[in-house]
Chains A and B, each alone.
Chain A
Amino acid sequence: MRELLTENFVLCADEVWRLQHLDAPDCVHFRTFCDEGEFGRLNAQDESRTRQGTYCVSPSGVLLGSANHRDPRRIERLLRSSLAKWEELSKSERLLETDPRETLREIERPEYRFPEDGVAVRINVRDLPRTYEGAEALDANDWRTHAWNFDYAWFNAEEVRRLVPEGLSKGDAWELDPALVERTFRLHLVDIARGQTLHYARDQVRAATLRAEVVKVRRGVAELALTGEIHLVDEDAERGIRGTLLGTASVRVDERDFAELKLVCVAERWGTTQFNRRHDDLGPEPIGFALHLATDHPTEKVAPTAFWEYGWR
């Protein structure tokens, strides 16, 4: 299957709400074929429904096949039938008449705002074991028991400097920029373990603190101990998260930037939202977050889910 994919197709992934609703050229191009499948539009006949799925398509926009399924056998059938249709197309039918690189300058998207001179932090989220007395046993065969998810938080260069004071030396201690900590916690330390959820508004933040203390400085790198608290509650107190944070970080003193980050949040979460699959698991129950610096891999330059809340100009 891997060879079938990599030898015959160009692989790409993208966020479908944007493709489905915006008027940028790539979005318009997507909508020329997304509903042309063998059974019409994917995911029901309602025009408003998501177009989530796997699409095989020519660069010119001729749909070769589509499916919204995770069964590898069905996907393999999709790939093979799509290749067969591709072979029937002439070169002029399957390729765009104009160079698509010319269109790139007309496309605006958050990924193009990636903070090359700042920091990207990856936030991994997973339910923690329910080992307390009286905890209900979970079905190990239920995917939700093992669900995990992740998001990214971005900080531009100016924001990183706000987090890291000048001239750090052993024993220095400070509370990290409250506005940035609040933004990070309310937008990113949220219950996405089983699916997307809503973030919290500013007035739903009861506690969002992160403190650092320099425990050692060696060869221009300060080693930090991190501690913090989080307490977020929606307006009806029906959804929330409350817990503590502990971790370490390394910062380059002269450059005032991060070299390493290991930060864990252990919290209890309660409540549910439309898409995070908690309707039968309202809690409160334990949840864990593990934060670290994102790598330079291209797949780690995806925009934060709530990027529009950053207010970057």
Chain B
Amino acid sequence: MRLLSFAGAAAGLLSSAPLVALSVSALLASAAPFQDDRLPELTERTLDGLYEAILPSEEDEAWRRLPWHTTYWEGVIAAQEADKPILLFAMNGHPFGCT
């Protein structure tokens, strides 16, 4: 799936008044860290538990135990040398990254 790029050049379009307002907002934001009671607490005490809970399990990553080539042409090169057929797994987003 091809991602569209939003790259914009907004800074030059802002007038001076909104810039002042944004600056004040930024200062206020940095002074008062975001809090939401619906979110899990992120503290030194909860850090490791949350970290482990987000990470994939070993089973989730079992596919890494297979001898993958990470590009199609590296697969072609290896298959030519070994005189073997290629299995290509192709996805929108590299299968070994964000899909």
Once bound together, how far apart are the Cα atoms of A195 and B4, in whole Å? 14
Once bound together, how far apart are the Cα atoms of A107 and B91, in whole Å? 19
Beyond A30-B72, A101-B77, whether A203 also contacts B26 by CB under 8 A is no
Once bound together, how far apart are the Cα atoms of A104 and B75, in whole Å? 12
Question: Is there contact, CB below 8 Å, between B56 and A50?
Answer: no
Residue from B54, B88, B99 in contact with A264 in the complex, judged by beta carbons closer than 8 Å: B54
Tell me the residues in window 5-61 of chain B with beta carbons closer than 8 Å to chain A beta carbons. 5-8, 10-11, 25-26, 29-30, 33-34, 36-40, 42-44, 47, 50-51, 53-56, 60
CB distance from A71 to the nearest CB of B (A): 15
Once bound together, how far apart are the Cα atoms of A299 and B71, in whole Å? 10
- Residues in chain B near residue A124, CB distance under 8 A: 54-56
Question: Is there contact, CB below 8 Å, between A91 and B80?
Answer: no
**Contacts between the two chains (Cβ within 8 Å), count:** 281
Residue from B34, B83, B97 in contact with A303 in the complex, judged by beta carbons closer than 8 Å: B97
Where chain A touches its partner, the secondary structure class is mixed
- Residues in chain A near residue B83, CB distance under 8 A: 91, 94-95
Where chain B touches its partner, the secondary structure class is loop
Beyond A11-B67, A50-B1, A95-B80, whether A305 also contacts B90 by CB under 8 A is no
Stretch at the interface among A127-135, A157-165, A166-174, A250-258: A127-135
Q: How many residues of B contact A (CB 8 A)?
A: 66
Question: Is there contact, CB below 8 Å, between B51 and A82?
Answer: no
Counting chain A CB atoms within 10 Å of each CB, which of B11, B71, B87, B89 scores highest?
A: B87
Question: Is there contact, CB below 8 Å, between B75 and A10?
Answer: yes
Chain B 64-94 interface mask (CB, 8 Å, partner A; 1/0): 1011111111111111101111111111111
CB distance from A249 to the nearest CB of B (A): 13
Question: Is there contact, CB below 8 Å, between B99 and A149?
Answer: yes
Question: Is there contact, CB below 8 Å, between A200 and B6?
Answer: yes
The answer to the question of A117 belonging to the interface, with a C-beta cut-off of 8 Å to chain B, is no
Question: Is there contact, CB below 8 Å, between A100 and B77?
Answer: yes
Question: Is there contact, CB below 8 Å, between B4 and A111?
Answer: no
Question: Is there contact, CB below 8 Å, between B70 and A12?
Answer: yes
The answer to the question of A156 belonging to the interface, with a C-beta cut-off of 8 Å to chain B, is no
CB distance from B35 to the nearest CB of A (A): 8
The 3 nearest A-B residue pairs measured at CB = A12-B75, A203-B10, A290-B54
